[in-house]
């Protein structure tokens, strides 16, 4: 009897571990929509509380309305941009593959060669080599974009199932988020104070990264797309998306896209549009970071832009397009746990 009592905890741990592994395998196909729902639940919970306050309660209705708002204002525009980027990337790729067109950057170097190749020794050969290499690398990048964009829409049934799970999970996390949080606190071996610290700092980090860095990058990408459309730069949506990623690069930002575009317009003889795009990039896009960044990030957990960039790019490479959100989420979780660990170490 005593031996049975001693074995009981070990038996329970083995059965619990087996159940956890089995459940993990069952939930694994739905990891991405569930993780994305958790991110959006954190970001949208403030809106859900405000809607609930306006309704005088009714958490279920408030959660449903928040989901509808997120679909109309966030997911539909992002899906539309994704489709447009895929189409523009596909058109540019086939144009380069067939040899009937050149990328904007490649065309820029050829124009530089035409203008200054004879005046500067070695410039002509350098410009032609760069132009050829740019087209090669551009084709590889566009092929990656088109293949991954195709993966998203290749299976309509799988896509619809993922959206269904995402919306259902988002609804219940918005409605029952406090109960889920309390359940996790009760199951955690950490003290309640430490658990609350993990949740609070994770929420702070997610809001800082998603509402701050990514929202600012998204706004700058949209303004870049508008500027390129107004001043006649081709593939405006595709380059706007590139600008949104470039906006995360510290010290460089959207200048990585704007400077070649302005030079392209100038060397193709479009001087007024080039000047207009230069002004647009300096004021409409350049000032966004200074004006909106303090308001969106505030006193939240500030992560270095380079880390956010690596989290976004690594997340995309590991998870696919959804990694735009999951990469920063993993980074936020890491820094939240490191912060808690530092506090525990200081008290020890």
Q: CB atoms < 10 A from the CB of 151, how many? A: 12
Distance of alpha carbon 109 from alpha carbon 75, whole angstroms = 38
**pLDDT mean over 149-170:** 72
Distance of alpha carbon 172 from alpha carbon 330, whole angstroms = 22
Q: Domain for residue 11, yes or no?
A: no
Residues 303 and 204 grouped into a single domain: yes
Q: Which residue has the tokens 């859900």?
A: 48
Q: Are 109 and 131 in contact (CB under 8 A)?
A: yes
Q: Are 305 and 250 in contact (CB under 8 A)?
A: yes
- pLDDT tens digit string along 247-257? 877 667 788 88
Pair of tokens at residue 219: 């706004």
Q: Domain for residue 323, yes or no?
A: yes
Q: Are 63 and 48 in contact (CB under 8 A)?
A: yes
pLDDT at residue 316 tops 60: yes
Predicted pLDDT of residue 171: 92
Residues 176 and 193 grouped into a single domain: no
- pLDDT tens digit string along 93-121? 555 555 444 445 555 555 554 554 444 44
Q: Domain for residue 26, yes or no?
A: no
Burial class (CB in 10 A: 0-12, 13-18, 19+), 36: buried
pLDDT at residue 19 tops 80: yes
pLDDT band (50, 70, 90) for residue 330: confident
Which of the pair, 129 or 318, is modelled with greater confidence? 318
Helix H or strand E encompassing 236: helix 236-246
Residues 166 and 294 grouped into a single domain: no
Predicted pLDDT of residue 147: 58
Predicted pLDDT of residue 162: 81
Q: Are 33 and 163 in contact (CB under 8 A)?
A: yes
Task: Report how many domains make up the chain.
Answer: 2
pLDDT at residue 281 tops 50: yes
Q: Domain for residue 120, yes or no?
A: yes
pLDDT at residue 277 tops 50: yes
Q: CB atoms < 10 A from the CB of 149, how many? A: 18
pLDDT at residue 259 tops 60: yes
pLDDT at residue 38 tops 60: yes
Residues 257 and 198 grouped into a single domain: yes
Distance of alpha carbon 159 from alpha carbon 173, whole angstroms = 21
Residues 195 and 336 grouped into a single domain: yes
Predicted pLDDT of residue 169: 92
Phi, psi torsion values for 247, nearest 5 degrees: -60, -20
Residues 141 and 209 grouped into a single domain: no
How large is the greatest C-alpha to C-alpha distance in the chain, in angstroms? 96
pLDDT at residue 12 tops 60: yes
Q: Which residue has the tokens 């500030």?
A: 302
pLDDT band (50, 70, 90) for residue 122: very low
Distance of alpha carbon 4 from alpha carbon 348, whole angstroms = 37
Distance of alpha carbon 342 from alpha carbon 348, whole angstroms = 10
Residues 245 and 111 grouped into a single domain: no
Predicted pLDDT of residue 255: 82
In 3D space, the residue among 289, 284, 263, 260 whose CA is nearest the CA of residue 275 turns out to be 263
Residues 173 and 217 grouped into a single domain: no
- pLDDT tens digit string along 64-102? 999 888 888 777 777 777 667 766 666 665 555 554 444
Which of the pair, 296 or 133, is modelled with greater confidence? 296
SS (H, E, C) 51-96: HHHHHCCCHHHHHHHHHHHHHHHHHHHHHHHHHHHHHHHHHHHHHH
Predicted pLDDT of residue 118: 46
pLDDT at residue 46 tops 60: yes
0.85 surpassed by pTM: no
Structural domain containing residue 115: 31-187
């Amino acid at each position: 009897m005593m031996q049975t009592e001693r074995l009981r905890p070990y038996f329970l741990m083995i059965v619990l571990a087996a159940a956890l592994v089995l459940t993990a395998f069952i939930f694994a196909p739905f990891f991405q929509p569930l993780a994305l729902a958790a991110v959006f639940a954190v970001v949208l919970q403030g809106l859900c509380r405000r809607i609930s306050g306006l309704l005088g309660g009714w958490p279920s209705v408030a959660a449903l309305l928040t989901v509808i708002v997120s679909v109309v204002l966030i997911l539909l525009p992002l899906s539309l941009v994704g489709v447009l980027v895929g189409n523009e990337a596909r058109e540019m790729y086939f144009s380069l593959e067939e040899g009937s067109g050149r990328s904007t950057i490649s065309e820029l170097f050829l124009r530089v060669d035409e203008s200054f190749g004879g005046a500067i020794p070695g410039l002509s050969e350098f410009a032609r080599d760069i132009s050829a290499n740019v087209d090669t690398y551009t084709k590889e990048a566009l092929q990656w974009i088109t293949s991954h964009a195709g993966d998203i829409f290749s299976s309509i049934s799988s896509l619809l199932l993922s959206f269904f799970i995402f919306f259902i999970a988002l609804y219940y996390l918005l409605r029952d988020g406090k109960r889920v949080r309390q359940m996790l606190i009760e199951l955690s071996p950490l003290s309640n104070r430490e658990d609350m610290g993990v949740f609070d700092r994770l929420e702070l980090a997610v809001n800082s990264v998603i509402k701050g860095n990514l929202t600012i990058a998204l706004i700058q990408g949209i303004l870049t797309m508008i500027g390129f459309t107004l001043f006649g730069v081709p593939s405006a949506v595709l380059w706007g998306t590139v600008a949104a990623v470039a906006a995360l690069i510290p010290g460089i930002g959207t200048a990585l896209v704007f400077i070649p575009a302005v030079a392209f317009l100038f060397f193709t003889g479009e001087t007024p549009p080039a000047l207009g795009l230069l002004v647009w990039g300096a004021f409409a896009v350049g000032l966004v970071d200074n004006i909106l960044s303090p308001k969106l990030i505030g006193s939240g957990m500030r992560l270095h832009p380079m880390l956010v960039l690596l989290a976004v790019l690594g997340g995309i490479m590991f998870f696919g397009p959804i990694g735009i959100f999951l990469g920063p989420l993993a980074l936020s979780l890491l820094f939240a746990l490191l912060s808690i660990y530092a506090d525990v170490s200081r008290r020890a």
